[in-house]
Amino acid sequence: MKECEGRTAQTDNERIQEFINAIMQVAKGDYTVQLELSGENNMMDSLAMGLNMMIDDIRLSVEIAHQNEEFRKVNEELKIAKDKAEESDRLKSAFLANMSHEIRTPMNGILGFAALLKKPELSGVQQQKYIGIIEKSGERMLNIINDLIEISKIESGQTAVSLAPTNINEQMEFVYAFFRHEVERKGMRLNYDCPLPTEEAFISTDREKLYAVLINLVKNAIKYSQEGTVDFGYVKKGKELEFYVKDTGIGIPADKQEDVFNRFVQADNSITRKYEGAGLGLSISKAYVEMLGGKIRVNSTEGQGSQFFFTIPYVTIKEEAGIIAYKITIPNLDDKPERLKLLIAEDDLANVMLLTAILEDYIGELFHVATGTEAVETCMRNPDIDLILMDIKMSKMDGYEAVRHIRKFNRSVTIIAQTAYALSGEKEKALLSGCDDYIAKPINSNTLLEMIKRLRKKKGTATDTVHSNMPKPE
């Protein structure tokens, strides 16, 4: 078992080293390098695709710059275009250097402390400390990958706006509750203001994107402030709502304020910068605000703090079915778990071990298969299976096709797609194939357990009658 885990970690480490080597080649002026994809369409492949796209962009910019140098004209417009291309190259080079640091640092924490956990003389306190560092490093790595995937989705037009009734006051309260303890630990104060009464605070907007922008701006305000206050709220201005986030932090130099919304730009891109991050958050926020029909801007004084403002249309709605609330769901894991007949369809042993560990208290009887074909056959032989965790990328028959076959003879079993595919439309594809829900890897244990309890409660724990025309197993 340890040998298998070692191979998995080594493979990931080798891929990260390939990324670093590619970045170094680009930094030396070789823009022909391209990262190969494993074909598994996992998060490492998504990162490789993103880096390949950026290298292509750099190569194109360099080619244009060379052409401009060879056929230099005195035309002022071409000079401006050349200056912009050079600035773009500088920012991308800074990004590549930054990504080398941002990827290598959390990976060092993961691999380094994982190795330290093998020491037999470690105390329980030390083990928990090391595990906490590994978890934090993994979350940091995942945030970088998620931001890269999201900016790629935005630029390729795969991100859509989903309008829904939204209680903006409750969103503000949630953001406050989310960050309050972090701010207090820094000895600072967090304040928010919701001037509209409840009946006027219901609007039609994409609440997930609005929430993401607020979270991003407040997180940045806390990150770049060491003392003082962070204030956020909104004011109604005619047919618009103007949201604001104000801090008493380091501020942004005047010559950087126009650039902070560009990709891969931070106020401090130097090698001595104090703050981690890939410089994608404000670019994503700007894209979201513009998708919602608004604009975003910043006022800042270096050394005194920053004020970010963004607008969205104020489109009121009528409250139809009671209070429309944006609530945080906290899993209740204290209830006695239901023992289930469980099928895990997964071709990666490490993922099987993880799912088995997460669901240990729920397993009454466990089946494991590595292909979609075996999943279908197992379900035909065991019509009373309660729950299927279906990986999507498997040999012989993929997870979506397997689910479609299973639904032909068993409509009652609960099926959750669990996959490393995280691009736009994957959840919809899972639901259309017949899955009850979808969870993206890396899997959060609380999220998975809460999802299972919710789906089981919805369907009921009683086993449905199997149709008499169900195919008999051979």
- Bridge partner residues of 240 (DSSP): 237, 313
Handedness of CA 18, 101, 284, 181 (dihedral sign): positive
Is the CATH code 3.40.50.2300 the one for domain 340-459?
A: yes
The helix/strand/coil state of 318 is coil
d(CA 208, CA 378): 39
Domain residues of the chain, as ranges? 2-155, 164-313, 340-459
Tell me, yes or no, if the two domains 164-313 and 340-459 fold the same way. no
What percent of the chain lies above the pLDDT cut of 90? 28
CB 394 within 8 A of CB 370: yes
25 exposed, middle or buried (CB, 10 Å; 0-12, 13-18, 19+)? middle
Using DSSP bridges, classify how beta strands 240-247 and 305-313 pair: parallel, antiparallel or unpaired.
Answer: antiparallel
Q: What is the pLDDT of residues 120-134, one digit of tens each?
A: 888 888 888 888 888
CATH of domain 164-313: 3.30.565.10
Residue 21 CA to residue 50 CA, distance in Å, equals 15
| pLDDT tens digit sequence for 226-280 | 899 999 999 999 999 999 999 999 888 887 887 788 765 554 444 334 444 445 7
Lowest mean pLDDT among 95-99, 230-234, 285-289, 346-350: 95-99
Cα torsion 263, 267, 272, 274: sign: negative
CB atoms within 10 A of CB 279: 22
The token pair that represents 255 in the structure block: 């010559």
**Residues 183, 140: contact at Cβ < 8 Å?**
no
Coil, helix or strand at residue 460: coil
**53-69 average pLDDT score:** 79
426-433 and 399-409 helices, crossing angle to 10°: 30
Inter-residue contact 404 to 435 (CB < 8 Å): no
Tell me, rounded to whole angstroms, the distance of Cα 255 from its chain centroid: 31
